Structure 1
């Protein structure tokens, strides 16, 4: 679980070959962070390729999970024509709140195929998933908002984020020529073994997929924050153990992504041997999981804000990644999971 463990360490305060030496009052030439004034944590101190000032990756808003490999410009220089780079800090263009456009964007089933499941079968299935002391750890399907207009608003918020980030919607793992083939996704290769998703929980996951296909959407809103970027909020109360979403995107070998600067890669398979390890890359095809925050996950007092857990399961012999509520979530509450997972590759104790 958790994002992909990169096979490289962060570099010291990075400086490109064209960067000019920065004058400093310190005898040892150390660069200090413009935000906090400290020269500590040099491995996480960036140098702007525009003005040569330094700033910690965890002092930036939104925070960066790692030192980028390419050119980087500080917030001040991103508004300057000299940098040639602009970071979006204004509200993105909203996707049209028009039913036909939204239905087409997400390929929602139309007509008889979009009809709800038979009433009897649906009631029997939901009764079987009621939480009780005897079966307290079974996963629950999400409960869609009852108002169809509200569901359209929720879908439009995700369409806005996908459009702004240049991605298309996908609710499944995708296998693209030139990356890892579907046959490479074998849970049997997991080092130490992978937990198997119980049959009843597999049925619950399938139910969630079917509901989304007919437009019964999870009660989630993607909102744009000028500090954190795109984030996700609960649009109604969500119970503990509810399946929030599956983490999806293109599947690739970790070895192909060792120098990838993307900040959304997720571990899919930690294989033995490591050459067969896989990651999920949601930069081109993704769902709402891409916008759930995994790094600003502590309060200024150091308390954890996580209300989701990120777990890898074996489903029909393949690896899958689920985000599941680990407590009751209030309406309007932002969703967070631990970017570290179990691998502790990126320190998040100072991420607020």
Structure 2
């Protein structure tokens, strides 16, 4: 099978971005720009020539030394975690100043509207839904756990039973998406002028693509139905000053549990070879490279956008991996899924390997 993930170009980021500030005019961003335009700049300090990076304590590479708009301290773009890929638009805050930024919170009504949850949802109920209970009963009757692991069938996620906890989970994702100016979407989006849906043909996959079994397709449909009713997977989006937005388990997750589908706007790989988006996902690798497709989750996406990657150059980094990214032929179309590779405990953060079988994306900068 072809690699599950392939990035177009090195963006140097762990894909977690600090919540952007509203665009504000700023004439100069880096130390080099300030010094070059010193005769025109209105600055509060007498000189910026002594500014150094707070991480590496060096003043070299002034064209990559960012100035924080709040504390006025300097940081090299490559020394930050997550690494800053390109010069920020508008104002920019360093990780320390960003820690105290207020995160937008959503009311129950706004969460329901944001995710277009059915109004008859179990979100308002005080017990687990009948559908979730039926799922647990079916699991118990399905046979010994050894047989399940041997067959390696996908398992549906098990929502937490507390409705208020599910609202908190959904609210955390809504806040993260809003901070990045993204819309929620649980489906692949085909925009006019981009790759059409007719271009997504699994038969074009170089070397062929594994077909998702009927039983697993039923599991996916069951998970989508649960999500639409507000029976959310036990996942919470949190913000870390080092990793940015990332995802942690809000309840136990069993091995081979379906976590999420990777969604976003679909486009041709050839149109995105010079794109700075650091979260592109391979959708189709065709024999004819001009027909290869990628998923771009910079405008639309779901919680898969915030699951972090491992540093696969270190033993400790590899130990953190607890899910994998897989591509399947689903009803003749390519789809990308994230699946648990072992039992995940509550509070554990989710990580997977961005590179698959190839090592084109340099992950040595990841924490």
TM-score interval w.r.t. the shorter chain? 0.7 to 0.9
The offset of 1:130, in angstroms, is 6.0
Asked if residue 108 in structure 1 is aligned to residue 124 in structure 2, the reply is no
What SS is found at the alignment partner of 1:251?
strand
Gap change, CA 1:91 and 1:156, over 3 Å in 2: farther
The separation in 2 between residues aligned to 1:33 and 1:304, in whole angstroms, is 31
Task: Provide the residue aligned with 1:188 in structure 2.
Answer: 203
Matching residue within 133, 156, 173 for 2:171: 156
The offset of 1:100, in angstroms, is 1.1
Q: Is the 8 A contact 1:3 1:340 kept in 2?
A: yes
Aligned residues: 318
The offset of 1:342, in angstroms, is 2.2
Structure showing greater relative contact order (alpha-carbon pairs closer than 8 Å, 6 or more residues apart): 2
CA RMSD of aligned residues (A): 3.6
Task: Provide the residue aligned with 1:308 in structure 2.
Answer: 323
The separation in 2 between residues aligned to 1:338 and 1:231, in whole angstroms, is 14
Asked if residue 197 in structure 1 is aligned to residue 212 in structure 2, the reply is yes
Gap change, CA 1:7 and 1:234, over 3 Å in 2: closer
Asked if residue 141 in structure 1 is aligned to residue 156 in structure 2, the reply is yes
Task: Provide the residue aligned with 1:5 in structure 2.
Answer: 7
Task: Provide the residue aligned with 2:194 in structure 1.
Answer: 179
Structure 1: which 5+ residue stretches go unaligned? 22-31, 39-44, 74-82
Task: Provide the residue aligned with 1:94 in structure 2.
Answer: 103
* 1:298-325 Cα distance to aligned partner (Å, 9 max, x none): 7785553111111111111111111111
Task: Provide the residue aligned with 2:64 in structure 1.
Answer: 48
Task: Provide the residue aligned with 1:60 in structure 2.
Answer: 80
Gap change, CA 1:322 and 1:35, over 3 Å in 2: same
The separation in 1 between residues aligned to 2:307 and 2:119, in whole angstroms, is 29
Gap change, CA 1:206 and 1:55, over 3 Å in 2: same
The offset of 1:19, in angstroms, is 9.8
Q: Quick check: 164-173 or 341-350, which moved more?
A: 341-350
The separation in 2 between residues aligned to 1:106 and 1:260, in whole angstroms, is 29
Counterpart mapping for 1:75-90 below 5 A: 85-87=91-93, 89-90=98-99
The separation in 1 between residues aligned to 2:354 and 2:100, in whole angstroms, is 25
* 1:268-314 Cα distance to aligned partner (Å, 9 max, x none): 10111010000011111100000111255677855531111111111
Task: Provide the residue aligned with 1:256 in structure 2.
Answer: 271
The offset of 1:6, in angstroms, is 2.0
Structure 2: which 5+ residue stretches go unaligned? 13-29, 37-51, 68-73
* 1:86-119 Cα distance to aligned partner (Å, 9 max, x none): 1472355434342111100100012389995669
Asked if residue 234 in structure 1 is aligned to residue 249 in structure 2, the reply is yes
Asked if residue 324 in structure 1 is aligned to residue 339 in structure 2, the reply is yes
Q: Is the 8 A contact 2:122 2:163 kept in 1?
A: no
Asked if residue 270 in structure 1 is aligned to residue 285 in structure 2, the reply is yes
What SS is found at the alignment partner of 1:133?
helix
The offset of 1:235, in angstroms, is 0.4
* 1:162-209 Cα distance to aligned partner (Å, 9 max, x none): 110000110111111111111111110000111111111111111111
* 1:1-46 Cα distance to aligned partner (Å, 9 max, x none): 4444326899xxxx9x97989xxxxxxxxxx9984589xxxxxx99
Gap change, CA 1:49 and 1:62, over 3 Å in 2: closer
Asked if residue 335 in structure 1 is aligned to residue 355 in structure 2, the reply is no
The offset of 1:351, in angstroms, is 2.5
